[in-house]
Structure 1
Amino acid sequence: MTTCGEFLVKQLEAWGVDTVFGIPGVHTVELYRGLPGSKIRHITPRHEQGAGFMADGYARVSGKPGVCFIITGPGMTNILTAMAQAYADSIPMLVISSVNERERLGLGKGYLHELPNQRNLTAGVTAFSHTLMSVEELPAVLARAFAVFDSERPRPVHIELPLDIITAPAAHLRVVAKPQLLRPAPNRSLLREAAAQLRQAKRPLLLIGGGCVEAAAEVRALAQALDAPTALTINAKGLLPAEHPLLLGSNQSLLPVRQLALDADVVLAIGTELGETDYDVVFDGGFKIGGALIRIDIDAQQLLRNAIAQLAIQGDARLAMRMLLADLPVGELSAHSPGARRAANARAELAEGFSGWAHYRQLFDGILATLPDARFVGDSTQTVYSGNHLVELDGPRRWFNSSTGYGTLGYGLPAALGAKLAEPARPVICLIGDGGLQFSLPELASAVEAKVGIVVLLWNNHGYGEIKRYMQRRAITPLGVDIYTPDFLAIARGFGCAAERARDHAHLHELLRSAPADRPLLIEVLEAPPFV
């Protein structure tokens, strides 16, 4: 007999799922019956939140949905934070959970892991949540989930299987081919109107978000065609290469870029929320658009949030850019063009403002000199905050972190593990602080077990340093921020990792070059000379 749980595994495998993150429990063991006979790799985190963060990192690198198997009740409440981060950053994630038997749902009798309604918990962090009430529903519900991932704004989907459905016979079901869905095409007449405005613009500005992550060639061609200084959100880093003459970096919260936004006669924003964590990390409401705003986004509602556009176009970012380019001059890339000069002036002003961050620049320059192809996966920590402004890379999907959107702690380590599993050949550096690492420290064991060679670059300031400074700036007596700092090197070695404290920059580079391929290397960097 083939059970519903076994059929689920077969269908996921047929649709290209190669990795599942989950912790087996008495309510999910029947989901595991079919895994040993499949080609799907199972990774066991030490906490369901870690499973969600691993799936997030895997999805950001691979472009495919990260898949989790989660138990009823505490498994679902544990993973909600990870789902919220993925929801905020538009990351595809498929969370398959169990739930109590259909005849026991919502009765409140104290059954194991019982909740009044799991779907209500997930309502704010999913594109949709569905309770499978019959085996026959499964193929169609999975198809709906992949429709979200492939043709809409990608976000988590939750499907829960009652315990009596997981074990129900499913031999009569047949594995079906994955539906081939396209993202919506934008309105051509609106794009022609946009192109006409852009051709007339004297001081255009281009704002590019994570919704363009699959369109690096189109972004570069569009910036060149418009001769427009270009600001990238954190999730869009790398869409313009580091030395591009039109690149402004991810500095929309800083005055030189804000002045360009005020001075621009036409601003074109594509695949970006225009949200606080990219445009107002100083929390002063100071990012303003002075001229006409044209927005392109796959999400119609997002076109009307944060800034109302004079021209709002719903559609796929890459297709929209290709259609726009057909109505724009080809243009030549020059360091002396009007747009490049505007960008260079802004970069020069930014460089003056970054003069106090020379130690962070030295840190990142040295890392990239040693590991030029590295991918950086970060937590909410000082190296991430500074790197968001300072670091530029030559390709997308190489810099992401949890300082955007939901802004959680504990993300960096498990997300880095997921990123490495998605592309094992590329070096992965986890940027994390001593406070954030204590949220997810046991996931070092998961990485050792999975033989994942990541570098955990631990910036240790012995507490919640950024929050302490925030309190002090507001004349609040620091409380709860000077936390106990354990011996991270001993703990990491106890988990089976390699672990060293970097004495100086030369020693750090030596450690990076000798990082093991089959287990994490934790490098502790103290926020003290010679690193500051």
Structure 2
Amino acid sequence: MGQQRPLGAQISHMLKARGVDVIFGIPGVHNQELYRGMEEAGITHVLARHEQGAGFMADGYARATGRPGVCYVITGPGVLNALTPLGQAYSDSVPVLMVASCLDETAATRGQLHQMRDQEGAAASVTDWSDTAQTPQAAYTLIDRALHEMATNRPRPKALHVPIAQLEAEAAPDWPAKPFLAPRPVEPEPDWITYTAQEVAEAKRPLFIFGGGARDAALAPVGQGQPTPVQALLARSGAAAFTTFAGRGIVPADYPLMLGSYLSRPEAEGVIGSADLVIAIGTELAEVDLWRDQLGHSGRLIRVDIDAEPLASNLPGQTPIRSDATRFVQALTDALGDGAPQTDWTQAEAADFRARMRSAVAAERPGLLGVIDAVQDAMPKDAMIYSDMCQLAYAAKEVWNMDRPGHWHHPYGFGTLGYALPAGIGGAVARPDMPTCVIIGDYGLQYTLPELGTAVELGLPLPIILWDNGKLGEIEDSMIRAQIAPNAVIQQNPDFLMLARAYGADALEPATLADIAPALDAAFKASRPTVIRLTPDLFS
């Protein structure tokens, strides 16, 4: 029997025993018992300025590490403030665990501090599950269930609510003492590998689409100088390849038949329609991947995913295969053998498509590609980038070729403004000696601007590239395309550089494109965050 402690303290000790080193949150009178055991357990706490920031930090930490991000929030408003980041984590398959206090009883009593009608139900709307632990053993069981599911299923956020009286009551550490072990990944059925290999061998124009769920297939351990599993598969299949935005970096940019991350371009539909076999791995092929109603394929479609839900879609001609992406890619590569594939794809065709799509982006967003190229040229190769909903990021997601997967994080599905700054803080905390950068717009920054204080407090050398065009530029363009007179798209911005300095951050404003590189270099070497303000004056 271990040491008796209040359950709130035991929860922190259990999380530490399960490998959690960092927790993001804000203490309050309702959840303070969670903080009692934190230092004793050896957990680092990051004090956010808002629960939304705490949730995004946990998200950013999880994306950087692949491990669950954990946030502590208070009853009622604290939970509601964290629901936006939980919704983002749900849509982007990010493992975030929210631990919240809750009232002991709400049915017969009204007027309590932080009271709401259905806290558990509110959190359930944006999480994989939301449950209340009425006993210590229930809390331990739910924590292990959350960690187990995050490790073995599609990673998604969970919400654990613990009544205040339970947090305060003495409890024994009755969780299993053995290390938390996850089962093996989902293996593909051999018959499906045989079927797919035959389809690839017979195809004249095979095409792979890699989504964010296939990231590990480009990260799996390989011998020195050996290709990644994805590279080996492409070499043996002679296939062309697209990646979704979330899948960028899975296919090397110099792969001769790489079609880029232009999957959502209207022209991509025709390219996909010309393929006689499409194999989509680790992608929902959702609206935010395609921005059209149909993928565009006219031939066979094989879908590979660890989650049964996207496999149940009604895309025409679909063959669903449930499997871990890495195991599928490795097994299919082995089944294809060492022959030199002959397909109808040509390097010239792929290069021409990429060039035309880049020109289309340049025409739609005049001047932005020059800024993006200058930033990309100055970015360290191992930098991890967190971007927000802004035009600079929208264009960059199409034209910026990543040399590795999992190093550009964006609020793809839910599309939340203000994501990048706190998520970038979480990523920087996760990678203390490696470069992390934020790309954000002038409007989005104001959603979570107070988290700049957290970054200063932590002494993070975090460049915050601020695209300041003084308006909601994407909405203005959309209104014009819809023949709506632009309305409510111009805002009065503060002096961002002065505001950054007021927080204790550094602030720079490059006068020319050539000044971007030294500004970024200085920001990465600083002992505090740096706001780097970029405006359309750079190309006007």
**Same-fold call, TM cutoff 0.5:** yes
Assess if the C-alpha contact under 8 Å between 1:98 and 1:161 holds in 2.
yes
3-state secondary structure, aligned to 2:188? coil
- Contact 2:204 2:344 (C-alpha < 8 Å) held by counterparts: no
Change (3 A) 1:349 1:333: farther
CA–CA distance in structure 1, aligned partners of residues 341 and 429 of structure 2: 37
Q: Give the equivalent residue in structure 2 for 1:70.
A: 73
Query: 1:269 aligned to 2:276?
Result: no
The AA in structure 1 aligned to 2:120 is R
Tell me: CA distance 1:111–1:492, structure 2 relative to 1, closer, same or farther (3 Å): same
Q: Residue type matched to 1:524 in 2?
A: R
Measured in 1, the distance between the counterparts of 2:116 and 2:283 equals 36
- Aligned counterparts of 1:493 and 1:38: Cα–Cα separation in 2: 35
Distance 2:433 2:344 in 1: 39
Aligned 8 A contact 1:23 1:70 in 2? yes
SS at match of 1:499: strand
Match of 2:223 in 1: none
Alpha-carbon contact 1:468-1:481 (below 8 Å) kept: yes
- How far the C-alpha of 1:424 sits from its partner, in A, is 2.3
Residue 49 of structure 1, aligned match among 30, 52, 58? 52
Q: Name the structure 2 match of 1:158.
A: 159
Q: Does 1:480 align with 2:488?
A: yes
**Given residue 244 of structure 1, which amino acid in structure 2 is its aligned partner?**
Y
Aligned to 1:59: 62
Match of 1:320 in 2: 328
8 Å CA contact 1:462–1:482 kept in 2: the answer is yes
Q: Which secondary structure state, in structure 1, belongs to the residue aligned with residue 405 of structure 2? A: coil
Q: Quick check: 1:371–1:427 contact (8 Å CA) kept in 2?
A: no
Asked if residue 96 in structure 1 is aligned to residue 99 in structure 2, the reply is: yes
What does residue 19 of structure 1 align with? 22
1:347 aligns with 2:354: yes
Offset at residue 355 of structure 1 (A): 4.1
Residues 285 and 173 of structure 1: CA distance in aligned 2, closer, same or farther (over 3 Å): closer
What SS is found at the alignment partner of 2:439?
strand
Per-residue deviation, 1:33:
0.3
Distance across 2 between alignment mates of 1:186 and 1:338: 28
Partner AA of 2:171 in structure 1? A
Within 2, Cα distance between the matches of 1:79 and 1:331?
A: 52
Give the corresponding residue for 1:446: 454
Aligned length: 524
2:249 partner amino acid:
G
- 1:439-481 Cα offsets, whole Å, 9 max, x none, are 1110100111111111111111101111011112212122211
Q: How far apart in 1 are the matches of 2:108 and 2:346?
A: 64
SS at match of 2:120: helix
Q: Secondary structure at the match of 2:216?
A: coil
Consecutive unaligned residues in structure 2, runs of 5 or more = 219-227
After superposition, where does 1:204-219 map in structure 2 within 5 Å?
A: 204-216=206-218, 217-219=228-230
Distance 1:398 1:468 in 2: 30
Residue identity opposite 2:245 in structure 1: I
Q: 1:247 is paired with a residue of what secondary structure?
A: coil
Q: 1:462 to 1:333 in 2, by over 3 A?
A: farther
Is 1:364 matched up with 2:372?
yes
Deviation of the 1:426 alpha carbon: 2.5
Instruction: Tell me the distance in 2 between the aligned counterparts of 1:386 and 1:205.
Output: 24
Choose which of 202, 205, 210 in structure 2 pairs with 1:203.
205
1:395: which partner in 2? 404
The residue type equivalent to 1:154 in the other structure is P
**Which sits farther off after the overlay, 267-276 or 463-472?**
463-472
| Structure 1 SS opposite 2:97 | strand
Q: Residues 255 and 171 (structure 1 numbering): CA distance in 2 closer, same or farther, change over 3 Å?
A: closer
Q: Quick one: structure 1 residues 186 and 230, their matched pair in 2 at CA, closer, same or farther if it must change by over 3 Å?
A: same
Q: 1:378-411 CA distances to partner (integer Å, 9 max, x unpaired)?
A: 0000111100110011111111212x11111010
The SS at the match of 1:235 is: coil
What is the aligned partner in structure 1 of residue 13 from structure 2? 10
Any conservation in 2 of the 1:108–1:116 contact (CA below 8 Å)? Answer: no
Cα distance, 1:258 vs. partner?
Answer: 1.9
Question: 1:21–1:54: 8 Å Cα contact kept in structure 2?
Answer: yes
How far off is 1:175 after superposition?
A: 5.1
Q: CA deviation at 1:337?
A: 8.0
Q: Which amino acid aligns with 2:119?
A: Q
Q: Secondary structure at the match of 2:137?
A: helix
CA distance change for structure 1 residues 345 and 507 in 2, over 3 Å: closer, same or farther? closer
Q: What residue is the counterpart of 1:413 in the other structure? A: 421
Cα deviation, 1:126-152, whole Å, max 9, x if unaligned, reads 111111011122222112101211000
Q: CA deviation at 1:331?
A: 5.6
Task: Give the conservation status (yes or no) of the 8 Å contact 2:372–2:392.
Answer: no
- State which of 73, 77, 87 in structure 2 corresponds to 1:84: 87
SS at match of 2:480: helix
> Residue 125 of structure 2: SS of its match in structure 1?
helix
For residue 338 of structure 1, what is the aligned residue in structure 2? 345
1:279 paired with 2:290, answer: yes
Cα offset for 1:308?
4.7
Distance 2:160 2:333 in 1: 40
User: Residue 338 of structure 1 aligns to a residue in which SS?
Assistant: coil
SS at structure 2 position matched to 1:37: helix
Q: Aligned equivalents of 1:330 and 1:58: distance in 2?
A: 40
Once the two structures are TM-superposed, the CA of residue 368 in structure 1 deviates from its matched residue by: 3.0
- Is residue 229 of structure 2 the alignment partner of residue 228 of structure 1? no
Task: Give the Å deviation of 1:43.
Answer: 0.6
1:207-234 deviation per Cα after TM superposition (whole angstroms, max 9, x unaligned): 1111111110222222222211111111
Aligned partner letter, 2:469: N
Q: Larger deviation: 266-275 or 8-17? A: 8-17
Pick from 415, 418, 435 the counterpart of residue 443 of structure 2: 435
Q: 1:315 to 1:435 in 2, by over 3 A?
A: same
Quick one: structure 1 residues 52 and 227, their matched pair in 2 at CA, closer, same or farther if it must change by over 3 Å?
Answer: same
CA distance 1:313–1:294, change in 2 (3 Å): same
Alpha-carbon distance in structure 1 between the residues aligned to 2:63 and 2:79? 22
**Equivalent AA in structure 2 for residue 257 of structure 1:** A
SS at match of 2:336: coil
User: How far apart are residue 517 of structure 1 and its match?
Assistant: 3.5
Q: Is the 8 A contact 1:57 1:418 kept in 2?
A: yes
- Which is further off, 255-264 or 270-279? 255-264
Q: Is the 1:267–1:291 contact (alpha carbons within 8 Å) kept by the matching residues of 2?
A: yes
Residues 326-384 of structure 1, C-alpha deviations (whole Å, 9 max, x = no match): 211346699x9835444223223323324435733332332233233222210000111
Q: Displacement of 1:50 after TM fit?
A: 0.7
Contact 2:205/2:344, CA 8 A, preserved across alignment: no
Worse overlay, 58-67 or 368-377: 368-377
C-alpha change, 1:531 and 1:226, in structure 2 (3 Å) is same
Describe the shift of the 1:75–1:36 C-alpha distance in structure 2 as closer, same or farther (beyond 3 A). same
Residue number in structure 1 paired with 2:391: 382
Aligned 8 A contact 1:19 1:43 in 2: yes
Per the normalisation by structure 1, the TM-score is 0.94
Tell me, in whole angstroms, the C-alpha distance in 2 between the residues paired with 1:134 and 1:425.
Answer: 41
Question: Within the alignment, does 1:301 sit opposite 2:309 as a pair?
Answer: yes
After TM superposition, give the deviation of residue 47 of structure 1 in Å.
0.8
DSSP 3-state at the match of 2:273: helix
**Paired residue secondary structure (1:409):** coil
1:247 to 258, 263, 276: 258
**Is 1:503 aligned to residue 506 of structure 2?**
no
Counterparts of 2:319 and 2:184 in 1: how far apart (Å)? 23
Structure-2 separation of matches of 1:37 and 1:272: 42
Shift in alpha-carbon separation, 1:81–1:306, aligned structure 2, 3 A:
farther
